[in-house]
Structure 1
Amino acid sequence: METLKQRILAESSVLSRDVLRMDALINHQVDPALTMEMGQEFAKRFAEENITKVITVESSGIPAAFATAYVLGVPLVFARRKKTLIADPDAYTERVPSFTKGMVTDIMVSKQFLTEEDRVLFIDDIIANGDAARGLIKIIQRSGAELVGLGVVVEKSFQAGGRTLREQGIRVEPLVRISSLDNGEIKFE
């Protein structure tokens, strides 16, 4: 997506050789038109997969996942990071580290929203090391649902997340791939 690349160059900032701040695009402020374009692109790439649900991890993955679910005409399920008073006590739970938050959290999905009849498309904002993705994939596997693939807005291909998931046979479809953030410069593949 050339538009996305240009917006990343114009509106993002490199914080370190491993961290890209995209608050103006997907992590804090969201451009609805651009987000819908992302959803349309993901829906096009996975159109033949008979998807029954789109899934993501709260919170930054929700806009792109919502747009994708909307275009596909299926429900969106998101893994919660915080337990609430009304949370389903019978939920799939996995402990995952967060690369950008620098902490470990539990993610959970209610068993009523993810079943063995589902064909699930996982959409996320960024894949770096892939820890959160692996955690949600474990939840999907435990539910018996079939993971048809992972659509990710930005893959930082210089980190191992996308590569290790592909090595496990998971289809990973990034909208853009960043090969380096060295010297404060964003380089795309």
Structure 2
Amino acid sequence: MKRSERIVAITNYFLEHPFELISLPYFSETYVAAKSSISEDLDIIDHMFQQEGIGKLQTVAGAAGGVQYLPFYSKENSDVFINQLCEKLNDPERILPGGYLYMSDLLGDPETIRNIGKIFATAFADKGIEYIVTVATKGIPLAYATANILNVPVVIVRRDPKVTEGSTVSINYVSGSSKKIQTMVLAKRSLPEGSTVCIIDDFMKAGGTINGMKSLLKEFQAHVAGIGVLAEAEDEDEERMIDEYVSLIKIHEVNLSERKIDAKKGNYFQ
């Protein structure tokens, strides 16, 4: 195999197996190349990963060591992407009756979802995340995109129990915006006790839903190491129920009468 072909193959392997520790002999045996040649290949790949702002290779010494791909999305790449996303959100045609904002097209676009997942994964890469938790339904694509980069499973909290999920744990919580009592459930088998988790959601107003998820996760003795929301609404008259979180976009204003939206970068960029 030519070096150029081998580099493409190894690069693809890293992209499909983030955070997985791989021994050098594996590459050497798989591609029938000397360890010194593989080491040179890895130096080239690492250089390009960092130059493109998409991650780096980390070498772990010792008998049980190897090399692993640590994906991240540089602040420069993130800044450009979120600015473009804000421009799309500022389109007045997105205003729906009641002051809601239409975002379903963005949450259904594979490239948009993939880039959002890269940013969240970068924000929580050093938190030791074992599971990504989200609530059905619009947060699911974001959760899977983030989990794909971090190489961890997704756990979905639901509003109603499903027969196919077996026994469940349920709690009642107060919605932050409507102040209504609502219910959320999680299958007992879906999350081992004591897991380190990250909550991902598409939109947050007062934070009642996320606060409810935190209460539900306490029943599993889970440690919430991070909370990420794609967009948060800014409302000075409403008290935020969540203090520590990462937001990518902040909706400062949705003006129905003037048909105006003011979406800017969230606290991740501050």
Q: TM-score range by the shorter chain?
A: 0.7 to 0.9
Contact 1:17 1:184 in 2 (8 A): no
Contact 1:17 1:180 in 2 (8 A): no
Contact 1:93 1:139 in 2 (8 A): yes
Count residues in correspondence: 180
Alpha-carbon shift at residue 23 of structure 1 (Å): 2.4
Q: Which sections of structure 1, spanning at least 5 residues, go unmatched?
A: none
Alignment of 1:88-107 (within 5 A): 88-89=166-167, 91-96=168-173, 105-107=182-184
1:155 to 217, 232, 237: 232
Alpha-carbon shift at residue 140 of structure 1 (Å): 1.1
The amino acid of 1:121's aligned partner reads: C
2:101 to 20, 29, 32: 20
Contact 1:94 1:136 in 2 (8 A): no
Counterpart of 2:216 in structure 1 is 139
Counterpart of 1:72 in structure 2 is 150
CA distance in 2, matches of 1:157, 1:86: 38
The amino acid of 2:259's aligned partner reads: G
1:184 to 253, 259, 265: 259
Counterpart of 1:34 in structure 2 is 112
CA distance in 1, matches of 2:151, 2:92: 31
CA distance in 2, matches of 1:24, 1:103: 28
CA distance in 2, matches of 1:100, 1:23: 20
Deviations 1:139-170 (A, max 9, x none): 11221110012100101122647x3210xxxx
SS at match of 1:117: coil
Are residues 157 and 74 of structure 1, via their aligned partners in 2, closer, same or farther at CA, if it must alter by over 3 Å? Answer: same
CA distance in 1, matches of 2:254, 2:230: 17
CA distance in 2, matches of 1:143, 1:157: 31
Contact 1:54 1:120 in 2 (8 A): yes
Contact 2:92 2:259 in 1 (8 A): no
CA distance in 1, matches of 2:93, 2:185: 30
Counterpart of 2:163 in structure 1 is 85
CA distance in 2, matches of 1:118, 1:12: 42
Counterpart of 2:8 in structure 1 is none
CA distance in 2, matches of 1:186, 1:83: 37
Q: Higher mean Cα deviation, 94-103 or 152-161?
A: 94-103
Higher radius of gyration, 1 or 2:
2
Higher relative contact order (CA 8 A, sep 6+): 1
Alpha-carbon shift at residue 99 of structure 1 (Å): 7.5
SS at match of 2:165: coil
The amino acid of 1:77's aligned partner reads: V
The amino acid of 2:95's aligned partner reads: V
The amino acid of 1:4's aligned partner reads: L
The alignment-based identity, stated in percent, is 26
The amino acid of 1:9's aligned partner reads: N
Contact 2:177 2:206 in 1 (8 A): no
CA distance in 2, matches of 1:24, 1:152: 17
CA distance in 2, matches of 1:66, 1:100: 26
SS at match of 1:177: strand
Contact 1:39 1:65 in 2 (8 A): yes
Contact 2:127 2:226 in 1 (8 A): no
Query: Is residue 108 of structure 1 aligned with residue 175 of structure 2?
Result: no
Q: Which sections of structure 2, spanning at least 5 residues, go unmatched?
A: 1-81, 265-270
Counterpart of 2:70 in structure 1 is none
TM-score, normalised to structure 1, is 0.83
Alpha-carbon shift at residue 12 of structure 1 (Å): 6.0
The amino acid of 1:141's aligned partner reads: K
